[in-house]
Amino acid sequence: MMFLLILRIVLRRTWIAGVAFCLMYSAWQTVQTAMWLPSAPAVVLMSIAGLLVATACLVQLTRFGLVATIAGMIAANTIYPFTTDVSAPYFGISLMPVAAVLALALYAFKISLAGQSLFREDLLDVGAPPRR
CB atoms within 10 A of CB 95: 15
Answer yes or no: is 28 within a domain. Answer: yes
d(CA 104, CA 112): 12
Q: Which domain holds residue 49?
A: 1-58
- Provide the number of structural domains found in the chain: 2
d(CA 23, CA 50): 9
Q: What is the pLDDT, as a whole number, of residue 9?
A: 93
Cβ 3 vs Cβ 21: under 8 Å: yes
Q: Are residues 12 and 33 in the same domain?
A: yes
pLDDT per position as a tens digit, 52-92: 989 998 999 889 888 888 888 877 777 667 788 889 888 88
Q: The whole model's pTM is what? A: 0.61
pLDDT per position as a tens digit, 101-125: 888 888 888 888 887 777 766 666 6
Q: Are residues 22 and 53 in the same domain?
A: yes
Q: Are residues 1 and 25 in the same domain?
A: yes
d(CA 62, CA 49): 20
